[in-house]
């Protein structure tokens, strides 16, 4: 995969709880990613979100109903939020090309939620968790890709 880090390229670095929207103010030789927008979602573990014991069926030894995974649902909703934000930015012609960087599961969720207008602008997808990395590290990873 070859990523062209041209001036104006947008890079979205996300996981299930936070996202950084970066824009390259530099060029391919000297990238300079600037933070344009940050999104954060409070998504505590399921054990802290569920309130009741799982329900039960009325018969049989395996009568417990599986508890809802609120944490996973939160990540899916966050992927929706990111996709919606990208759609609004694309509609305002804020970017021509975008690179998506997220863990594989989140990347899959985002890909499903992206509007056609945004999907056409995706230059590359990188299945990695980089939200806790510095912008300098992200620039180096993109240059190496």
* 47: in domain: no
Whole-number pLDDT of residue 43 = 47
pLDDT digits (tens, 9 = 90+) for 109-128: 899 999 999 999 999 999 99
* 55: in domain: no
* 49: in domain: no
* 105: in domain: yes
Range of the domain at 17: 10-42+68-144
* 62: in domain: no
Whole-number pLDDT of residue 74 = 57
Q: How confident is the model at residue 23 (pLDDT cuts 50, 70, 90)?
A: very high
* 53: in domain: no
Q: For 51, list phi and psi in degrees, rounded to 5.
A: -115, -30
Domain count, the chain: 1
Instruction: Supply the pTM of this predicted model.
Output: 0.77
Question: What percent of the chain is modeled with pLDDT above 90?
Answer: 56
CATH number for the domain that contains residue 19: 3.30.420.60
Contacts for 5-10 with beta carbons within 8 Å, 24 or more apart? 5/31, 5/139, 5/142, 5/143, 6/97, 8/95, 8/96, 8/97, 9/95, 9/97, 9/98, 9/99, 9/123, 10/36, 10/89, 10/94, 10/95, 10/97, 10/98, 10/99
């Amino acid at each position: 995969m070859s990523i062209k880090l041209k001036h104006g390229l947008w890079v979205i670095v996300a996981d299930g709880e936070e996202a950084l929207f970066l824009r390259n103010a530099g060029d391919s030789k000297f990238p300079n990613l600037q933070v344009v927008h940050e999104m954060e979602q409070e998504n505590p573990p399921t054990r802290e979100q569920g309130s009741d014991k799982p329900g039960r069926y009325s018969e049989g030894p395996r009568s417990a109903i599986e508890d809802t995974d609120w944490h996973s649902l939160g990540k899916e909703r966050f992927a929706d939020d990111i996709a919606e934000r990208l759609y609004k930015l694309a509609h305002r012609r804020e970017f021509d090309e975008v690179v998506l960087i997220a863990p594989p599961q989140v990347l899959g969720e985002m890909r499903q939620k992206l509007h056609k207008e945004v999907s056409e602008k995706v230059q590359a997808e990188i299945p990695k968790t980089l939200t806790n990395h510095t912008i300098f590290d992200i620039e180096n990873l993109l240059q190496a890709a």
